[in-house]
């Protein structure tokens, strides 16, 4: 079935929005100038605003990278929210966030670390940590922030783009390596 | 491509299209045999390979669940995926990083060299080193290995510059950009390496050797190869005479099929080949097909591994370029003064940003942990690859808790780390640290072993049928027309990445099969 009517059947439209995370992109991202607006929002389908903010603060405490755009952390929250696919999973997630304690999002880093240590052995903590590893470092914000250049084939690899441009150590003798192929 | 009838009992059936199976397919078809090649995965290509890490992983990896146990690191670092190999045409040669060292002579005489080490099942290989070396030459020329037979070495990357400087400074002498089955220039109808760094996601220039775009197309060109993809072998059947006579498989539509066979070559990798033999138990072979010795699945080895990351004050950009283009060979010797038997390689390694924290950093979180990742640009990497001790109870069995998507018991991997493994690994980690600290690393981060990427030993060769599964040509002692053509036949693992040895033994086995067929002895 095709046409505008079918678009209303897509799952994103059927699930109601229960909360939202919002932010503004840092101006230094190279692709930002291409966007109509720097404001962003991540809709949540299981968590409310406060829970979303607490979870974002937890992820930021697990992986505090100063200067990494909040949008990257919001992507992790979005992935966790979407991953709670059943009412039971949503309830578990809400209980986990509740275990962070009151005012988690606004607490100092030292306090947030102490509260996380207290729940470190829980499935909620460990699951959140793994999802953070899976999502936080695999998006355009992270690539730009950490300097990873990503996909290489379309650019001809690194043969002429710096695969051997390091100069703070001596060049390797040919006997231990080999000639450039051109 | 021919389509042989299911009741054609003159065909050779090969199970698995990787380093062993793909090579056998070409070798047998070019010698005139009709071959049915069963591959559980799909056929990809350099055009369809993805440099999106998650996509590539899903596309190429054996994703069926397994269970595992034991004291090995993977039990807590990678419990849900204890082994990482492929399910695709070309097998793990699509994903491998193409390191092709030779086993050393002392390594194939592990028992004589190391002595009677308690808690191990060390043996000597049932062949002379000169024999193995002859086939190493054949495989190296076939695959196109750098630094061998006049092929130039790979140029030095930034990551290698750091390894080279540090390794030389601590006194190592045999440090170079590695023996790699990767074209540095276009050769053999394939492209040259453009230093992409996505070796493990499938080489998009086909510079890296893989049976997918070498052996298999050449087998097809003979007009005698019937490649059936999406076909998962579930049982090898035999007749009252004890000879294999058919392979039962689930085809790409989920239907069970039975292909008659004149010869069966099993090359599903050491885990799945052992599993299939166990699944093929019968009245005559109650412990698994060809398993009167009880050695099927036993003596599983995977090499002891660990990552050592050196963090510097200046950029390295280690992801730029061929992943494993560097090695320190000096520790690949037997020198018990170090506190262990056997030896190890220190190999250059790099990882993409998404994989790096997930797959290669130790457990951690918080500000100090994040500061490691903040240094991603400035990181250089070593992967330790050492000889783990063969142990009779490190083994593949049929899982009592996990089934695969066809409802059959998955493989269960049990692996207990041996004290020799720990002593070797600690030494290797210390040496890796020294290498990076000698050239100014501000921090060194070391991981535990993770998912096993080399699978060996589960149908070991022997002269005596009571101590091994296969004879010195990989032929099952008890089933005269059944051959094991993958890493399962290695009696001990040495420290060498196994693919070169697998291809060499497959070339040798194919010649042997041809001679035996001509003499009426198969």
- How does pLDDT run across A126-181, given as a tens digit for each residue? 999 999 999 999 999 999 999 999 999 999 999 999 999 999 999 999 999 999 99
- Indicate the number of domains in chain B: 1
Which 25-44 residues of chain B touch chain A by CB within 8 A? none
Q: Is the dihedral of CA B339, B342, B348, B354 positive or negative?
A: negative
- What is the C-alpha to C-alpha distance for residues B288 and B78, in angstroms, rounded to an integer? 28
A25 is a domain residue? yes
Q: In chain B, positions 390-409, which contact chain A (CB-CB < 8 Å)? A: none
Torsion of CA B364, B367, B369, B375, to 10 degrees: 160
pLDDT band at A24 (very low <50, low <70, confident <90, very high): confident
Mean local confidence (pLDDT), B468-477: 98
Tokens matching residue B347: 């190999």
Q: How far apart are CA A94 and CA B357, in angstroms?
A: 27
Average pLDDT, whole number, for chain B? 97
Cβ–Cβ below 8 Å for B195 and A147: no
Sheet with B225-229, edge to edge strand ranges: B225-229, B35-39, B12-15, B263-266, B482-484
Q: Chain A: residue nearest B166 by CA?
A: A169
- Per-residue pLDDT at B505 exceeds 90: yes
Half-sphere exposure of B429 (CA within 13 A, CB side): 16
Q: What is the CA radius of gyration of chain A?
A: 21
Average pLDDT over residues A68-93: 94
Cα B400 to Cα B232, B274, B393, B403: the distances in Å are 21, 16, 17, 8
CA distance B154 to B178: 8
Find which of B180, B320, B361 to mutate to test the A interface (most A CBs within 10 Å of its CB).
Answer: B320
With beta carbons under 8 A apart, name residues in chain B contacting A116: 365
Residue A31 predicted with pLDDT over 70: no
As a whole number of angstroms, the distance between CA B486 and CA B385 comes to 20
DSSP per position, B395-424: EEEEEEEEE-TTSSEEEEEE----HHHHHH
Specify the residue for token string 């023996």.
Answer: B179
Domain span including residue B227: 12-45+78-518
In a domain, A107, yes or no: yes
B378 in any annotated domain: yes
Query: What number of H helices and E strands is found in chain B?
Result: 12, 17
The answer to the question of residue A60 being in a domain is yes
Q: Which residues contact B102 (CB under 8 A, 6 or more apart)?
A: B133, B136, B179, B496, B500, B501
Contact B320/A172, CB-based, under 8 Å? no
pLDDT digits (tens, 9 = 90+) for B396-434: 999 999 999 989 999 999 999 999 999 999 999 999 999
| pLDDT band at residue A28 using 50, 70 and 90 as cut-offs | low
Q: In the predicted model, is pLDDT for residue A17 greater than 90?
A: no
Is A13 an 8 Å CB contact of chain B? no
State what percent of residues in chain B have pLDDT above 90. 98
Which CATH number do you get for residue B121? 3.50.50.60
CB proximity list for B478: less than 8 A, separation 6 or greater: B242, B285, B290, B291, B292, B465
CB contact under 8 A, A65 and B374: yes
pLDDT of residue A21: 85
Between chains, do A62 and B366 touch, taking CB under 8 Å as contact? yes
Phi, then psi, of B311 in degrees rounded to 5:
-105, 125
pLDDT in tens, B290-336: 999 999 999 999 999 999 999 999 999 999 999 999 999 999 999 99
Residue at B305 is within a domain: yes
In order of A104, B320, B360, B381, B421, the CA distances from B349 in angstroms are: 40, 11, 11, 5, 21
Chain A contact for B57 (CB, 8 A cutoff): no
> A182 lies in a domain?
no
Taking the C-alpha atoms of residue B315 and residue B380, their distance in angstroms, rounded to an integer, is 9
**What pLDDT does residue B192 have?**
97
Query: Would you call B367 and A109 a contact, using CB atoms and an 8 Å cutoff?
Result: yes
Domain that holds residue A65: 10-176
- Ranges B51-55, B109-113, B166-170, B436-440: which has the least confidence: B51-55
DSSP string, B276-345: HHHHT--SS-TTSTT-TTS-TT-S-B--EEEEEEEE-SS---TTSS-TT--EE-TTSS--GGGSSSS-EE
Q: How many alpha carbons lie under 13 Å from residue B134 in its C-beta half-sphere? A: 8
Is B155 in Cβ contact with A179 (below 8 Å)?
yes
Is the predicted pLDDT of residue A32 greater than 70, yes or no? no
Residue A87, chain B, CB below 8 Å: the answer is no
Buried b (16+ CB within 10 A) or exposed e, A62-87: bbbbeebbbbbbbbbbbebbbebeee
Dihedral sign, CA of B373, B375, B381, B387? negative
CA atoms within 13 A on the CB side of A159: 18
Give A40-94 as a DSSP string: EEEEESSS-HHHHHHHHHHHHHHS--TTS-HHHHHHHHHHHHHH--SHHHHHHHH
Whether B67 is covered by a domain: the verdict is no
- Interface membership of A137 toward B (CB under 8 Å): yes
Residue A104 above 80 pLDDT? yes
- Given a contact cutoff of 8 angstroms between Cβ atoms, the answer to whether A99 and A124 are in contact is yes
Asked if the C-beta of A179 comes within 8 angstroms of chain B's C-beta atoms, the answer is yes
Residues of B in Cβ contact (< 8 Å) with A163: 157-158, 195, 317, 320-321
Residues of chain A with Cβ-Cβ distance to B153 below 8 Å are 176-178
High-pLDDT (> 70) share of chain B, %: 100
């Amino acid at each position: 079935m095709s046409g505008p009517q079918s678009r209303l059947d897509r799952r994103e439209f059927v699930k109601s929005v229960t909360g939202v995370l919002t932010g503004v992109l840092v101006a230094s991202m190279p692709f930002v100038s291409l966007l109509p607006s720097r404001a962003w929002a991540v809709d949540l389908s299981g968590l409310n605003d406060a829970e979303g903010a607490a979870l974002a603060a937890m992820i930021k405490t697990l992986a505090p990278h100063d200067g990494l755009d909040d949008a990257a952390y919001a992507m992790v929250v979005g992935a966790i929210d979407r991953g709670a696919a059943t009412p039971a999973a949503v309830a578990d997630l809400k209980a986990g966030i509740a275990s962070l304690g009151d005012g988690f999002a606004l607490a100092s880093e030292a306090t947030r670390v102490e509260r996380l240590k207290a729940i470190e052995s829980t499935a909620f903590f460990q699951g959140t940590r793994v999802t953070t590893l899976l999502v936080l470092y695999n998006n355009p914000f992270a690539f730009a922030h950490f300097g990873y250049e990503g996909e290489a084939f379309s650019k001809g690899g690194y043969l002429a783009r710096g695969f051997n441009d390091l100069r703070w150590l001596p060049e390797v003798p040919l006997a231990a390596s080999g000639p450039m192929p051109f | 491509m021919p389509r042989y009838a299911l009741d054609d009992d003159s065909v050779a059936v090969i199970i698995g299209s990787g380093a062993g199976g793909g090579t056998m397919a070409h070798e047998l078809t070019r010698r005139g045999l009709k071959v049915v090649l069963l591959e559980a995965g799909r056929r990809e290509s350099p055009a369809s390979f993805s440099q999106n890490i998650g996509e590539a992983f899903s596309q190429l990896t054996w994703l069926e669940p397994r269970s595992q146990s034991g004291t090995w690191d993977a039990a807590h670092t990678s419990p849900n995926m204890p082994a990482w190999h492929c399910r695709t045409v070309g097998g793990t040669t699509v994903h491998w990083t193409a390191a092709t060292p030779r086993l050393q002579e002392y390594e194939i005489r592990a028992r004589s060299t190391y002595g009677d080490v308690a808690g191990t099942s060390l043996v000597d290989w049932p062949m002379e080193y000169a024999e193995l070396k002859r086939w190493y030459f054949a495989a190296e020329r076939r695959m196109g290995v750098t630094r061998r037979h006049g092929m130039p070495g790979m140029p030095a990357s930034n990551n290698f510059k750091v390894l080279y400087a540090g390794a030389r400074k601590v006194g190592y002498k045999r440090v170079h950009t590695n023996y790699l089955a990767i074209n540095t220039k276009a050769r053999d109808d394939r492209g040259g390496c453009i230093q992409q760094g996505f070796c493990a996601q499938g080489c998009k220039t086909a510079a890296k050797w893989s049976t997918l775009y070498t052996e298999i197309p050449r087998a097809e060109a003979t007009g005698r190869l019937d490649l059936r993809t999406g076909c998962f072998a579930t049982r090898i059947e035999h007749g009252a005479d004890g000879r294999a006579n058919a392979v039962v498989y689930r085809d790409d539509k989920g239907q069970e099929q039975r292909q008659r066979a004149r010869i069966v070559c099993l090359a599903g990798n050491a885990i799945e080949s052992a599993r299939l033999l166990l699944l093929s138990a019968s009245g005559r072979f109650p412990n698994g097909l060809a398993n009167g010795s009880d050695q099927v699945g036993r003596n599983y080895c995977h090499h002891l591994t660990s990552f050592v990351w050196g963090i510097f004050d200046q950029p390295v950009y280690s992801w730029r370029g061929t992943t494993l283009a560097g090695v320190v060979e000096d520790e690949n010797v037997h020198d018990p003064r170090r506190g262990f038997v056997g030896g190890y390689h220190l190999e250059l390694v790099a990882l993409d940003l998404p994989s790096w924290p997930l797959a290669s950093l130790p457990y951690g979180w918080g500000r100090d942990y994040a500061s490691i990742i903040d240094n991603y640009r400035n990181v250089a990497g070593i992967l330790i690859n050492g000889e783990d001790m063969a142990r009779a109870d490190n083994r593949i069995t049929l899982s009592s808790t996990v089934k695969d998507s066809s409802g059959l018991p998955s493989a269960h991997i049990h692996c207990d780390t041996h004290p020799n493994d720990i002593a070797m690994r600690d030494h290797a980690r210390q040496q890796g640290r020294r290498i990076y600290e000698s050239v100014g690393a501000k921090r060194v981060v070391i991981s535990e072993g993770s998912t096993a990427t080399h699978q060996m030993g589960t149908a070991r060769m022997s002269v005596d049928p009571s101590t091994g599964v296969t004879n010195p040509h990989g032929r099952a002692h008890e089933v005269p027309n059944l051959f094991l053509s993958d890493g399962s036949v290695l009696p001990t693992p040495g420290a060498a990445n196994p693919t070169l040895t697998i291809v060499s033994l497959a070339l040798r086995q194919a010649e042997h099969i041809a001679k035996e067929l001509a003499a009426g002895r198969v």
